[in-house]
């Protein structure tokens, strides 16, 4: 755990340069606007530790699969969002020395991500190797009002000399992915040009053997120069090489006279325009924003964004910073405007896991986007999967399933499976259940049942078909069984009858039957769906009902707990306390030792209780929590949040808080020593759940709000807003009581500690707690 | 299945060139002498389909591990025997055209591996692109009397012209492994030189990052030239480039006048000599053999070799060729003179699997070498593992075991684990049992119990320690269980309580206790071993006894069969007949589908019955065979032989023969479409077992011969010899009866169909069977 980031309500601050942590800071201070983003790299050259990264949503490359030993069914490629044109770069040269923070003396340094305003600011004072001292200040952001626009406002000031400063803002496509399977460069140059204070570069992903369309990416930059506060005309000289274009100019500055470079950048790609139009689109964008004051626009837009999704915590600045940091990055990563996009595990903050889509989206992210932003955002995440239905069916076929059975991929960009570990790729099939669950979750929350008619039912039927083929009837048990799976607890592989997977499979079948009944009301929609899918209702649903009634769900009669899988009790059941010095086991133990131990990466039985909580009474929750929690090592960043929610529900506030602390500052404090690779974006949504569903005790059932709040001991207060079908609600919890404000005109009903309350429009309800 | 190889008792014949099968033929016609070997490549250049390969036993490179996703515990490198200096090469140039069988017209072609004589012969008549016709004849072998010597006797004759022929015999180190993980070249040049009719090249394996010693390899050639049958002095010109040296000369030959080149080659490497001495050793070797008639020597030596290990089958030429082919390659691959060497799965016939050692050696090869050649050969195979004991203990430590627990590697060259699939590397631990079993097998057969004192007991104790740590006590079952293993049936991964593994683990513990009792008789030896291992006898053996008495061995009370693993009965149990059109499933099914099916790659319960047959009655054998055989797809080349032996024992002669046919001509007929990669050397020993232990019904129990022969319906007779502790015995089986000849002076006792018979020295016993 590191502790060099200053605690602050709204800002992430590095004061004084921590070169050894630079890649961590770069991750923390990443910027994005849903359409593009980049890590908090320096504009100048830097030969120290750095992971240089610029990413454009939806622009990726099929990187040829690398394996030790090929297994039938492995995909040919791993789709990865690729490091793209570096557009932040500005070279500074003084007396032949190019400024490089890795080579000069850093006299002063301050870097700050302002989460309320949505920009990254940096100040530093440097002594070059030649003794000259300069001051640099920069503010940078990706515009959220014009999402193709990037903005760098950069100042350099000589401190102890008068002299000529040579400056080269540039666009550079000579970039690589650190995790490229075969160390390939993925970009080829298409064209470049300069026109006065503008330069443009168009690149294209290279040819591939997998039939994947290539992407064109064009970037344009527009420069404005000031000296000592006054606009200055300069002569730009074009410098160019393969995939690189820069505009060089030199300015004679007197001591303390500031040279300011405003570099506006436009980024367009072929997912939205024909390749031939891209450069013109960049020009148009640059012209459109030429005279706009982008920074005030950005600040105002971010302030507005925060209005309804902020969470306020009093009495714990570190927790306050943590939760805002999580929300900020979630908002930067995905805006829900384009159903072709999804939420990569690292967002725009790093390369790891290739920026592809996991079940994290459905299981962890959707609740955040449902409550915090417009419903259309969550809906687009569902549509993304609907759009991939045909590919999921093909994926099922590839693995030997038939009749339209869909197996959604474990990781994907465009609907095709990319992962290549058999125990995950072929066996971690519970993802199919999460995709079905998200449809339920969305409709339950929003009341928008029409989604079923339009898209949802097709997905549900196709997934149910998969489950009905994936199970086997065991003559031995006289039950249906599910052999050879990996549950969310990836510390067990190829097990039989993972309780969570079996449960969610049966649930999917049931919910699909419900959904069929609902959609049938609209004969026309239903006929279309039946036709599209060749759905033989009578026959197929008969089998589903047969499975629903006869599924094997492992259970221990003695302890009265659900069993993670068949045979789980044959393990030596130990508490994690017994292996304290071995943790994290994923770094200290061989894989087989992990597998045969009882220790749990994330407890999937508890995940099931969390999803389907109303199916089980409080005692069942308690028994299972008390059985599994002590064996859980939480070595998935997605694990602690579920425990916070359950512990809160069970009144175990200390355990809940302990778990919360593990997630909320996971990246800020680099708990897992891996923040340098990028941030854990999807688990950030879990942190949001920890607060809102955990401490806030917030649930929405059939569009209606339910609250069972519980405040951590060291917090003075907690408040947040949630958007419901007909109401925007603000919930405040403090030592004196609970206040629920209806911020909309419409009357609302809600439940607080299981009491039904009706609240008029714009009214508030206050409950004074007895303890206070 | 291909059928282009002519059936012949002693020869493998390709008549007419089959370019499309050339890589298969190259594999089939590989040559070796235990110390080096090569594929049946052409001496001339060849641009067609070819896998060029020369290998030197014990000379390997640590090829950096390639994985998709790293797991803790994976090894850093995969040791592989590497393609080494090509010493067979002879370039022929006529009027500027270099002879290339891929480019000229082949008018006549004949290639023959003579198994009785141990050489490869080729004849061909070619029309070059320039219209000139030539005849080529060559005979090539790796000497088994001088195992550093290779010999090429090569003739070229102009057919339709008089003219100058330019000839360049060469040594070439510019070779690569097709399966190199990162396409690296593994050799660097050290030196080269020429002296008259001799040339030398010394190369060294390149640097590696794994602390593995580099190998030097030196090759020298000595040329003699004849024209029209008369020795001819020629002027050699040295041609050289990086890692290449050739000696060029030109001869004017008249039509039908034959130019003969005798290229004697000496190969030495740094496993036997200091690098600096290698070139001198090559010179010495060349000088030593200069005047020897190597070909007659080779023929005589091979004839002698065959004397006691031939198997004669009458009435089935194809079976006769098949069994000799298997024996020939086993004899070529391993001679047992160097305990640092072992038997790679492809021998000297290809690169696949890196030439490393598997449990195949102990489970399949040792019986052949015990019966067919001197006992010292099998003993050296045991010593090989003893020499690796410390590394096996380190391997155990790496995976979390302690107190000297040894886990032998799944695949290895020098004792270090090389494999990188977690389900194999960490979980296919039954190999440890096979290594223990081989010690028993050797002592049971030879009576040489002193091996225990010298080497065996240390290995047994260390393996027993592993088993005692690898098991877990299940509070649930009140039994010891073994979680997370892969049995010999690799179509199940990460299962609990694989019956075979559990059984052999318990057997190892029992046998170790017996061995301790035996060795204790020699107090001094025992004290040394206890000291070496810090063996705490009382405490450790108490635990072993506890495990022996309480191991969980899955069993089905209804069917009265052993269960392959926990939960096996929950599968859908189908016969392979039901999936006829899906086979081989390892090519047609995704990995998960294979895993959750009942289908068995090789039936490990049956493997256990085969190893420990006297622990079970005939009915148990029958029930288990009838249960598992129908589910077995035999997609391991090691599978059918066990079924032949068991089926023979159970009197199921048709099933036994069906299984036998699958192995005996596996490579000759390319059943599995993979002979081009090399031959299945270790499964050839299984074929030998099929005949001798299967049809011959031969067992040795505590050094005593037992016979229960059964003759396949279409064979007239079968005869073979086996070497026993005190006797050499020849067994003949035909339609009239059975004849057992004691070829040694000493009296022997043996059992035939469970009757005890005493046979005087040099006497024979004849049993006339009633059926005849």
How far B70 CA sits from the closest chain A CA (Å)?
A: 10
Contact A665, A318 (CB under 8 A): yes
Say if the Cβ atoms of B484 and A595 lie within 8 Å. yes
Phi, psi of B732 (to 5 degrees): -120, 135
CA distance A31 to A40: 7
Closest-CA distance, A64 to chain B, in angstroms, reads 11
Question: How many CB atoms within 10 Å of residue A30?
Answer: 28
For residue A772, the model assigns a pLDDT of: 39
CB atoms within 10 A of CB A755: 9
Give the count of beta carbons closer than 10 Å to the beta carbon of residue B105. 12
Q: Which residues of A292-305 are buried (b: 16+ CB within 10 A; e: fewer)?
A: eebbebbbebbeeb
Give the mean model confidence (pLDDT) for residues B247-251: 97
- Could you count the other beta carbons within 10 Å of the beta carbon of residue B444? 18
- Residue-wise pLDDT tens digits, B581-636: 999 999 999 999 999 999 999 999 999 999 999 999 999 999 999 999 999 999 99
Long-range CB contact pairs, B399-404, < 8 A, 24+: B399/A590, B399/A592, B399/A593, B399/B73, B399/B426, B400/A589, B400/A590, B400/A593, B401/B465, B401/B466, B401/B469, B401/B470, B402/B469, B403/B465, B403/B469, B403/B534, B404/B461, B404/B462, B404/B465, B404/B533, B404/B534
The percentage of chain A sitting over the pLDDT mark of 70, rounded to a whole number, equals 100
Active site residues of A: 490
pLDDT in tens, A50-91: 999 999 999 999 999 999 999 999 999 999 999 999 999 999
Complete DSSP assignment for B54-74? EEETT-EEEEEP--SS--TT-
> CA nearest A426 in B: which residue?
B592
Pairwise CA distance, residues B634 & B637, whole Å = 7
Burial of A654 by CB count in 10 Å (0-12 exposed, 13-18 middle, 19+ buried)?
exposed
Contacts of A744 (CB under 8 A, 6+ apart): A726, A727, A728, A761, A762
Spatial separation of the C-alpha atoms in residues B496 and A596, rounded to whole Å: 9
Q: pLDDT by residue (tens digit) across A702-718?
A: 999 999 999 999 999 99
Which value, in Å, is the radius of gyration of the alpha carbons in chain B?
Answer: 27
Pick the closest to residue A417 from A436, A391, A435 (CA basis).
A391
Mean pLDDT along residues B360-377? 97
Q: Which positions ≥6 away from B692 have C-beta within 8 Å?
A: B311, B367, B371, B698, B720, B722
> Which pair of structure tokens corresponds to residue A37?
């983003």
CA pair distance B149, B163, nearest whole angstrom: 33
Catalytic residue among B362, B490, B492, B540: B490
According to the model, what pLDDT value does residue B671 have? 86
- b/e sequence B155-184, b meaning 16+ C-beta within 10 Å: bbbbeebeeebbbbbbbbbebebebbbeee
> Which residue in A has a C-alpha nearest to residue B77's C-alpha?
A68
The rounded mean pLDDT for chain A is 96
Q: For chain B, what percent of residues have pLDDT higher than 90?
A: 96
- The interface residues of chain B toward chain A in range 583-612, judged by CB-CB distance below 8 A, are 586-596
Please say if B764 is a catalytic residue. Answer: no
ipTM value, please give it. 0.93
> Is pLDDT at A274 greater than 50 in this prediction?
yes
What does the pLDDT read at residue A638?
Answer: 93
Report pLDDT digits (tens) over A336-387: 999 999 999 999 999 988 889 999 999 999 999 999 999 999 999 999 999 9
CB atoms < 10 A from the CB of A374, how many? 14
Q: Which residue among B398, B420, B494 sits closest to A493, beta carbon to beta carbon?
A: B494
A557 touches B at CB < 8 Å: no
Between positions 137 and 176 of A, the ones with CB within 8 A of B are none
Chain B CB contacts of A472 below 8 Å: 570-572, 596
pLDDT tens-place string over residues B713-745: 999 999 999 999 999 999 999 999 999 999 999
Mean pLDDT value across residues B664-674: 90
Closest CA to B613 of B605, B436, B656: B605
Which phi and psi (to 5°) does residue B752 adopt? -125, 120
Tell me the pairing of strands B748-752 and B704-707.
parallel
Is residue A769 scored above 90 in pLDDT? no
What DSSP string describes B139-196?
EEEE-SSSTTEEEEEEEEEESS--EEEEEEEEEE-----TT-TT----EEEEEEEEET
Query: What percent of chain A is modeled with pLDDT above 90?
Result: 96
Query: Are A400 and B494 in contact (CB < 8 Å)?
Result: no
Q: CA–CA distance from B703 to each of B441, B519, B752 (Å)?
A: 10, 19, 15
Using the Cβ of A477 and the Cβ atoms of chain B, whether some distance falls under 8 Å is answered with yes
Is the confidence at residue B1, as pLDDT, over 80?
Answer: no
Token pair belonging to B10: 């002693």
To 10 degrees, what angle do helices B430-446 and B499-520 make? 50
Q: What pLDDT score does B232 carry?
A: 94
Could you tell me if B494 lies within 8 Å of chain A, comparing CB atoms? yes
Residues 63-92 of B with CB under 8 A from A: 65-69, 71-73
Q: What are phi and psi of A659, to 5 degrees?
A: -70, -40
Q: Which of A591, A594, A595, A598 to mutate to test the interface with B (most CBs of B within 10 A)?
A: A591
CA B56 to chain centre: 15
Site from B420, B484, B556, B599 to mutate, A interface, most A CB atoms within 10 angstroms: B484
Residue numbers in B near A558 (CB within 8 A): none
| Closest CA of chain A from B606, distance in Å | 22
- Asked if A590 lies within 8 A of B494 by C-beta distance, the reply is no
Relative to beta strand B31-32, strand B36-38 is antiparallel
pLDDT-based confidence at A770, cuts 50/70/90?
low
Q: Compute the nearest-CA separation of B495 from chain A (Å).
A: 8
Give the C-alpha separation, A396 to A449, whole Å: 27
Measured CA to CA, the distance from residue A230 to residue A305 in angstroms comes to 34
User: B611: which strand partners?
Assistant: none
Q: Chain A, 216-245: which have a CB under 8 Å from a chain B CB?
A: none
B771 or B541, which is more confident:
B541
* pLDDT tens digit sequence for B684-700: 999 999 999 999 999 99
Q: CA B616 to CA A63: how far, in whole Å?
A: 54
Q: Please give the average per-residue pLDDT across A515-539, as a whole number.
A: 96
CA of B432 to nearest chain A CA: how many angstroms apart? 16
A574 close contact with B: CB closer than 8 A: no
* Cα–Cα distance measured from residue A463 to residue A392, given in angstroms and rounded to the nearest whole number: 9
Distance between CA atoms of residues B519 and B454, nearest Å: 9
pLDDT digits (tens, 9 = 90+) for B468-485: 999 999 999 999 999 999
Contact present, A93 and A45 (Cβ < 8 Å): no
Q: What is the pLDDT of residues B288-303, one digit of tens each?
A: 998 889 999 999 999 9
Contact B592 A567 (CB under 8 A): no
- Report the interhelical angle of B639-649 vs B653-664 (nearest 10°): 160
Q: Chain B contact for A252, CB < 8 A? A: no
**How far away is chain A from the Cα of B86, in angstroms, using its nearest Cα?**
28
DSSP state of A673: S
Reading the block at residue B233, the tokens are 């002095």
Q: Is the pLDDT assigned to residue B770 strictly greater than 80?
A: no
Tokens of A276: 């031939």
Supply the pLDDT for residue B663: 87
HSE (side-chain half, CA atoms, 13 Å) at A285? 26
Q: What CA–CA distance (Å, rounded) separates A79 from A384? A: 16
> At B772, is the pLDDT very low, low, confident or very high (cuts 50, 70, 90)?
very low
End-to-end C-alpha distance for chain B, whole angstroms: 36
Cα–Cα dist B515/B452, whole Å: 7
Q: How far apart are CA B106 and CA B104, in angstroms?
A: 6
Q: Is B477's CB within 8 Å of A570's CB? A: yes
């Amino acid at each position: 755990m590191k502790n060099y980031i200053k605690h602050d309500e709204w800002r992430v601050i590095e004061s004084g340069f921590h070169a050894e942590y630079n890649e961590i800071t770069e991750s923390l201070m990443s910027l994005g606007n849903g359409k593009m983003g980049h890590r908090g790299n320096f504009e100048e050259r830097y030969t120290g530790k750095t992971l240089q990264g610029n990413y454009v949503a939806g622009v990726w490359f099929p990187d040829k699969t690398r394996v030790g030993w090929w297994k039938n069914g492995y995909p040919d490629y791993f789709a990865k969002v690729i490091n793209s044109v570096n557009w932040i770069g500005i070279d500074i040269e003084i007396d032949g020395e190019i400024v490089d923070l890795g080579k000069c003396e850093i006299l002063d340094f301050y870097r700050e991500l302002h989460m309320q305003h949505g920009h990254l600011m940096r100040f530093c004072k440097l002594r070059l190797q030649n003794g000259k001292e300069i001051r640099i200040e920069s503010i940078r952001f990706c515009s959220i009002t014009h999402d193709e626009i990037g903005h760098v406002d950069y100042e350099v000031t000589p401190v102890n000399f008068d002299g000529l400063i040579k400056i080269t803002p540039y666009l550079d496509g000579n970039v690589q992915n650190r995790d490229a399977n075969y160390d390939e460069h993925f970009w080829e140059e298409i064209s470049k040009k300069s026109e006065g204070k503008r330069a443009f570069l168009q690149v294209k992903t290279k040819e591939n053997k997998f039939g994947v369309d290539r992407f064109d990416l064009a970037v344009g930059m527009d420069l404005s120069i000031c000296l000592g506060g006054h606009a200055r005309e300069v002569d730009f000289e074009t410098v160019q090489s393969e995939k690189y274009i820069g505009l060089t100019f030199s300015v004679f500055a007197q001591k303390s006279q500031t040279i300011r470079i405003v570099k506006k950048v436009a980024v367009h790609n072929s997912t939205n325009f024909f390749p031939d139009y891209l450069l013109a689109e960049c020009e148009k964008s640059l012209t459109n924003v030429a005279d706009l004051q982008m920074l005030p626009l950005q600040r105002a837009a971010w302030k507005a964004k925060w209005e309804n999704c902020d969470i306020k915590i009093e009495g714990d600045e570190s927790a306050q910073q943590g939760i805002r940091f999580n929300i900020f990055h979630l908002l930067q990563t995905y805006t829900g405007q384009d159903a072709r996009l999804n939420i990569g595990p690292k967002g725009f903050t790093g390369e790891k896991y290739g920026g592809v889509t996991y079940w994290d989206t459905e299981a962890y992210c959707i609740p955040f986007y449902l409550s915090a932003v417009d419903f259309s955002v969550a809906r687009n995440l569902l549509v993304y999967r609907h759009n991939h239905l045909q590919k999921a069916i093909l994926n099922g076929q590839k693995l030997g399933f038939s009749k339209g059975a869909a197996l959604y991929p474990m990781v994907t960009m465009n609907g095709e499976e990319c992962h290549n570990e058999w125990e995950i790729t072929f066996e971690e099939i519970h993802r199919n259940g999460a995709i079905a669950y998200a449809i339920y979750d969305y409709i339950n929350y929003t009341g928008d049942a029409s989604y079923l008619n339009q898209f949802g039912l097709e997905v549900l039927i196709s997934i149910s078909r998969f489950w009905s083929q994936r199970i086997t009837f065991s003559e031995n048990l006289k039950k249906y069984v599910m052999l050879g799976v990996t549950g969310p607890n990836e510390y067990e592989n190829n097990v039989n009858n993972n309780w969570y997977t079996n449960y969610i499979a049966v649930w999917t079948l049931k919910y699909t039957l419900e959904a069929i009944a609902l959609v049938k009301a609209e004969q026309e929609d239903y006929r279309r769906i039946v036709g599209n899918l060749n759905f033989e209702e009578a026959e197929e649903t008969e089998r589903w009902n047969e499975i629903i009634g006869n599924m094997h769900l492992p259970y221990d009669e003695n302890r009265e707990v659900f069993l993670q899988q068949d045979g789980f009790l044959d393990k030596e059941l130990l508490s994690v306390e017994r292996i304290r010095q071995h943790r994290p086991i994923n770094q200290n133990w061989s894989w087989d030792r992990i597998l045969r131990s009882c220790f749990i990466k994330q407890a999937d039985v508890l995940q099931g209780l969390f999803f389907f909580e109303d199916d089980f009474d409080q005692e069942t929750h308690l028994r299972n929590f008390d059985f599994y929690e002590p064996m859980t090592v939480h070595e998935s960043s997605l694990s602690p949040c579920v425990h916070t929610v359950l512990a809160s529900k069970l009144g175990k506030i200390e355990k809940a808080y302990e778990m919360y602390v593990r997630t909320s500052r996971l990246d800020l404090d680099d708990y897992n020593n891996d923040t340098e690779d990028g941030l854990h974006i999807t688990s950030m949504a879990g942190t949001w759940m920890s607060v809102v569903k955990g401490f806030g005790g917030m649930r929405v059932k059939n569009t209606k709000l339910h609250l069972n709040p519980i405040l951590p001991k060291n917090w003075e207060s907690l408040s947040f807003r949630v958007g419901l079908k007909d109401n925007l609600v603000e919930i405040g919890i403090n030592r004196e009581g609970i206040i629920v404000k209806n911020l909309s005109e419409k009357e609302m009903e809600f439940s607080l500690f299981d009491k039904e309350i009706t609240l008029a429009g714009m009214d508030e309800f206050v409950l004074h707690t007895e303890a206070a």
